[in-house]
Structure 1
Amino acid sequence: MFEEASEVFENMFKSSFPLTFIVFIPAVLILVSPLPAEAAHEFTVYRMQQYDLQGQPYGTRNAILNTEARTMEAEVLSRRCVIMRLADFSYDKYQKALRQSAGAVVITLPKNMSAVPQDIVQQFMELEPEMLATETIVPVYFAVEDDELMSIYTQTQTSSSSQGSLSAAEVLLHTATANGFQMVTSGAQSKAVSDWTITSLEGRLAGAGGEDLPTIVLVAHYDSFGVAPWLSYGADSNGSGVSMLLELARLFSKLYTYKRTHAGYNLLFFLSGGGKFNYQGTKRWLEENLDHTDSSLLQDNVAFVLCLDTLGNGDSLHLHVSKPPKEGTPQYTLLKELETVISSQFPDTKFSMVHKKINLADDVLAWEHERFGIRRLPAFTLSHLPSHRLAQRSSIMDVRPHVDVSKLSRNTKVVAEALARVIYNLTEKIIMFNPQQVQEEQLSAVVDWLTAQPRAAQLLDKDSSVVSTLEYHLTRYLKDVKRHYVKADKRDPEFVFYDQLKQTMNAYRVKPAIFDLLLAVCIASYLGLMYFTIQVRYCVPAHHQRVSSNTKLL
């Protein structure tokens, strides 16, 4: 059979070679040509923050991406999707891509963030506020690395870096033959989310001995923040503060159950929402309790407000105050009791008071206690951070390994013991809480649960499982648990959130546009050559044959 087929092809080539060439070669090209462009990889991307706060826009303003991929090694980045790895990321490179009018920026992150070297983590933490400080038109995305995405990056990097060392002809040939990747997002353009609700939770333990009892308020905001909402897990800030507040609620609920230990203080516990957006939940809660009601624990005798923020690490504790407490006041007593408990029971831990006045000219308040200070309520914030400017308070790098449960347990013991000394007016060095009474396993479980999902305020509506679960935990220990809602004013909104924060991106394997141009030139040349060959092979002999026939007739 094969011999017969070979004879047929041989006869075809002998009898009419140009015609066979025209038919056979295109058929071969069609058979061996690659399939049309197909998706090389589909992966999830997380967009940079986009929000307005007090009328000031922050983050990226765009969410649509449909452009060819490049890495920073390429000389031309204009209208290209620039892919950067976290290990190679720098603010100068980021700004270079923006200055060259890049079409988009995609920053890839390793799967295991806890394995990232500490110097890279610290560097990126410090860069996040700068990335968000100004409005950016270019869409900026983050993606978690996998094998296929890294393969795309490697191929794109090879293509981008080789162009700078080649001649013009080599660049043209390389551009025409190389494979590229077209990055396309599946989502639509971002738009403002109307009527978004921020939820806060309140619960209380009523004191014994009358109605006009002093009130101690314990506060922690539960939302997280970072350069990308869907990657903001907020382990230390403020998963540790929430975990401590719930543990304090459990400890004092037991004391308030028995008459012998039912103290003459009201305890008010408040989990605030929108903490990372200038403490919007606390602001509205104060307005409701101080301006719009006649019966509120905050309108009576408030001993002090203690805010818990970033308490899951470190070997020091700092009490941040806007106004130093005066001697003889409950807040001064708490300050002294904190010093006493730490020096007597945890001598390796350092304690200090940090005084910072409230700057009303700042767009964002430094600490949550300043919201209370503006309303002339005595308040302070306890944290292991010496300054509000430290980057770990608002970073996607604040993940679960950043919380040391043993240190969180120690700090919880310090706060519980100091509060008990104030509440029960202990003059002797009596230990109210043994270390075993603070359940380290419970603290760890709450932090694990909180860091299992992102808790950015844009992702937590009133029906969120995070809010419902926090409410359930409060109801286990406290009475009169209530929800408080915050919506932005429609005429002059304090905050505006936007959607399209999480999308699917497709990387399509494509040839560059110049490849189509060269292919068209080759096809035109081929057809021209075939036309010329046919003309020479068939038309010229026919002409000679007619001429010879006419000569014979003559």
Structure 2
Amino acid sequence: MFKSSFPLTFIVFLPAVLILVSPLPAEAAHEFTVYRMQQYDLQGQNYGSRNAILNTEARTVEADVLSRRCVLMRLADFSYEKYQKALRQSAGAVVLVLPTNMSTLPQDIVQQFMELEPELLATETIVPVYFALEDDELLSIYTQTQDSSTSQGSSSAAEVLLHSATANGFQMVTSGAQSKAVTDWAITSLEGRLTGVGGEDLPTIVLVAHYDSFGVAPWLSYGADSNGSGVAVLLELARLFSRLYSHKRTHAGYNLLFFLSGGGKFNYQGTKRWLEDNLDHTESSLLQDNVAFVLCLDTLGNGDSLHLHVSKPPKEGSPQHALLRELQMVNTFYPDLKFSMVHKKINLADDTLAWEHERFGIRRLPAFTLSRLDSHRSVARNSIMDIPHVDLKKLSRNTKLIAEALARVIYNLTEKVRAMSLVQDQLTSLIDWLASQPRAAQLVDKDSSVVSTLEYYMGHYLKDVKRHFVKADKRDPEFVFYDQLKQTMNAYRVKPAVFDLLLALCIAAYLGLVYLAVQHFGVLYSILRRLTAPRAKQH
């Protein structure tokens, strides 16, 4: 056959060559990290995604059929209608692909997504919802999946069948287990104080800020402004007044109590328990004595406005009114800053409180919240788009204003003079550190580096620094957290089922031809001989 018949050689040995030759190396799988949507229970109501297991084929939202498919969406093309379409068609999962540097996104896309985040969490869903940061491989997977999804709407059935047989598909699989409730989770809060001079029965000023962040995905919730800025301001105030209280001439007749609360985004659970411990279960506490006022700090990093949120307008002559007056006075030093008071009564019918000062107001302690936001419903308070970006000049300006107003109240300064004029560069390092890591309540346990670092910082400037813990009641828990919030996902390159069918038909046809060739080898051989025999020369 080798010597005299090339066609026979071609027919017999070509399949063997194709089988034996190694295929070219190809990227068969891509592994990347995904972050699951919030899953928690609050006040007996379920929120977020209730599932974590994913093992299904990828599609984009353009596909006609999304049932039991993993729907890939890019943030630039995301909308609530598309998300609802995936849920209505019983999609197997939703993966939202985010750009690595979200600060490069157009502001309208950022604002639109921030407004959608509360709606995504408003009702629970059994569909696993994940977020992934975009890279070259993931973008390639999305592009190929989108091409495969859009081809399904072609007018020609033959084109659809051919594309289905030749296109690459991707099977999306998570490596983790099903999510389950985390038992005995402890929310940690921190307390420290500066003791005044001049007697035991001194008025107390309480400064409060919650340190946890919140967003649609806990591992992507950096909370640079809300409430990293509030924590940075509180710690800077602790540093400034500790220096004043360390000298006899400036040791004032006020006790200063600093409180960093945990669980602020979950109806201020840390503050609630702290008040119960100090007012209901303790015989001696600074909160049981003469409390001048409680000032809560929330979202102070950007903007050119400052609002004092109150549940009850302060009476003239009270320490609360004195603080309001001094804030207005110091504000005259900053013409670019607009200051106002916002009055809102506490609505006990709501499932969650609007501001942290309302926790104190319920216990009849005079309190208010200072924030750049004019409403507690602002989407900027609970968004993964609150990325590590704070206007340091405006944060420094706001810190100076608060420090000067407090100093004027504490030292009873009545003249129009500057009480404090400088905030150190340490404020910059504080906000950079706070904004460099997610601080969702589900991620910050009692052994977290966030808690230990905050405790160390407070201990450097304050006295009697201690921790306070709150755990959910086992019988009737006010809050329940769940695990599996960060997982590894694999995208395996696969062919669709129709490819297996087409390949089986091709193999069957090939084997049939080989069988016929063997059974009628004499006829085939004579035909091939005639085709390959040299033609006789004509004379």
TM-score, normalized by length of structure 2? 0.94
The equivalent residue for 2:304 is 315
The equivalent residue for 1:254 is 243
Conservation of the 8 A alpha-carbon contact between 2:189 and 2:270: yes
Conservation of the 8 A alpha-carbon contact between 1:184 and 1:505: yes
Deviation at 1:129, TM superposition (A): 0.5
The equivalent residue for 1:147 is 136
Cα-to-partner distance string for 1:23-42 (whole Å, 9 max, x where unaligned): 53432442468589964311
Conservation of the 8 A alpha-carbon contact between 2:203 and 2:289: yes
Cα-to-partner distance string for 1:434-475 (whole Å, 9 max, x where unaligned): 2x2x11x21111111011111111111101111111001101
Distance 2:360 2:112 in 1: 33
Distance 2:215 2:31 in 1: 25
Q: Within 5 A, what are the aligned runs for 1:90-169?
A: 90-169=79-158
The equivalent residue for 1:454 is 438
Conservation of the 8 A alpha-carbon contact between 1:199 and 1:486: yes
Conservation of the 8 A alpha-carbon contact between 1:37 and 1:510: no
Deviation at 1:165, TM superposition (A): 2.2
Q: Within 5 A, what are the aligned runs for 1:319-334?
A: 319-334=308-323
Distance 1:151 1:174 in 2: 18
The equivalent residue for 1:422 is 409
Higher helix share: 1
The equivalent residue for 2:463 is 479
Greater Cα offset, 531-540 or 168-177? 531-540
Q: Within 5 A, what are the aligned runs for 1:19-418?
A: 21=11, 23-31=12-20, 39-343=28-332, 345-401=333-389, 403-418=390-405
Q: Could you tell me which of 435, 449, 452 is aligned with 1:465?
A: 449
Deviation at 1:130, TM superposition (A): 0.4
DSSP-derived class of the 1:400 partner: coil
Distance 1:426 1:103 in 2: 65
Deviation at 1:326, TM superposition (A): 1.2
Distance 1:33 1:54 in 2: 60
Name the amino acid aligned to 2:320. Answer: Q
The equivalent residue for 2:479 is 495
Distance 1:134 1:393 in 2: 19
Conservation of the 8 A alpha-carbon contact between 1:37 and 1:508: no
Conservation of the 8 A alpha-carbon contact between 1:38 and 1:508: no
The equivalent residue for 2:494 is 510
Deviation at 1:536, TM superposition (A): 3.0
Runs (5+) with no aligned partner, structure 2: 526-539
Distance 1:283 1:532 in 2: 85
Deviation at 1:258, TM superposition (A): 1.3
Cα-to-partner distance string for 1:258-279 (whole Å, 9 max, x where unaligned): 1111111100000000111111
DSSP-derived class of the 2:352 partner: coil
What percent of counterpart residues are identical? 82
Distance 2:27 2:394 in 1: 52
Deviation at 1:324, TM superposition (A): 1.1
The equivalent residue for 1:525 is 509
The equivalent residue for 2:534 is none
Name the amino acid aligned to 2:310. Answer: V
Conservation of the 8 A alpha-carbon contact between 1:367 and 1:388: yes
Distance 1:253 1:431 in 2: 19
DSSP-derived class of the 1:209 partner: coil
Cα-to-partner distance string for 1:414-442 (whole Å, 9 max, x where unaligned): 111111111112222232112x2x11x21
Cα RMSD of the aligned pairs, angstroms, is 1.8
Conservation of the 8 A alpha-carbon contact between 1:217 and 1:306: yes
Conservation of the 8 A alpha-carbon contact between 2:207 and 2:257: yes
DSSP-derived class of the 1:188 partner: coil
- How many residues were matched structurally? 525
Distance 1:182 1:38 in 2: 14
DSSP-derived class of the 1:299 partner: coil
Cα-to-partner distance string for 1:265-299 (whole Å, 9 max, x where unaligned): 10000000011111110011001001111010001
**Distance 1:39-1:484 versus aligned 2 partners, 3 A rule:** farther
Deviation at 1:163, TM superposition (A): 2.2
